[in-house]
Amino acid sequence: MKQLTITHVVVIALMAVFLLVAMDRAGALRGPQPTYTPPVAAAAVPAAVADTEKGKPPPHNDKVEDLPDGKGREVTFYTCTACHGVALIKAQGLTRDLWDSTFDLMLEKHRMPPVKPAERAEILDYLSEQFPPRRRGRNADNPFLK
Ligand code: HEC
């Protein structure tokens, strides 16, 4: 019998590798695989958990009194502070038209629930009266010049 050459060794080794890869791909070398279990449907979540999620308190501790007194303060507070505090509102000074656009922004971009037209008018009156455009100029917000 002829001597085993390096070529024989390489060919036999390659065949062994191919065979192992083929068996592995066929799953012959692996044990039982975990099966996919779909996540629990939302309806199956216990009611108590779902309720705490839904009834989440707003992300601030503001009270009605944190808005300046005036007609429409309550409706403004309860409509506008479900998602943010009063600070975001107080920081603005806008005309009624621009408060109107802000209102649309909250409805369209931030998905605020719809508001009745009468309430919307009351809120816009309140906002434009309490937070009108501020005087322009570099010293307008300087507390030491008051
Ligand atoms: C459904 C949730 C939601 C409600 C309700 C809501 N907003 Fe907002 N508002 C947001 C989000 C979200 C932002 C962006 C917050 C941020 O930038 O941190 C925002 C930002 C603002 C800003 C800052 C905008 C700016 O350009 O800096 C103002 C002013 C504002 N809201 C006013 C109001 C007023 C007035 C109401 C009531 C009519 C209201 N929001 C109701 C979600 C809401």
Q: Is 67 in the pocket of ligand 1 (CB under 6 A)?
A: no
Taking CA atoms only, the protein residue closest to ligand 1 atom 9 is: 106
pLDDT digits 0-9 by tens, 2-33: 678 999 999 999 999 999 999 998 888 888 88
Which ligand 1 atom minimizes the distance to the CA of 82?
A: 5
What's the rounded mean pLDDT across residues 128-135? 89
CA atoms of 31 and 6, how far apart (whole Å): 36
Taking CA atoms only, the protein residue closest to ligand 1 atom 27 is: 88
Are 67 and 73 in contact, with CB atoms under 8 Å apart? yes
Structure tokens at 98: 């621009």
Q: Nearest Cα to 112, choosing from 78, 66, 88?
A: 78
Q: Is the pLDDT at 51 greater than 90, yes or no?
A: no
pLDDT digits 0-9 by tens, 61-105: 999 999 999 999 999 999 999 999 999 999 999 999 999 999 999
Alpha-carbon distances of 100 from 16, 54, 93, 94, rounded to whole Å: 76, 28, 12, 9
The number of CA neighbours under 13 Å toward the Cβ of 106 is 19
Taking CA atoms only, the protein residue closest to ligand 1 atom 29 is: 89
Burial class of 14 by CB neighbour count within 10 A (0 to 12, 13 to 18, 19+) = exposed
Q: Is 83 in the pocket of ligand 1 (CB under 6 A)?
A: yes
Q: Is 130 in the pocket of ligand 1 (CB under 6 A)?
A: no
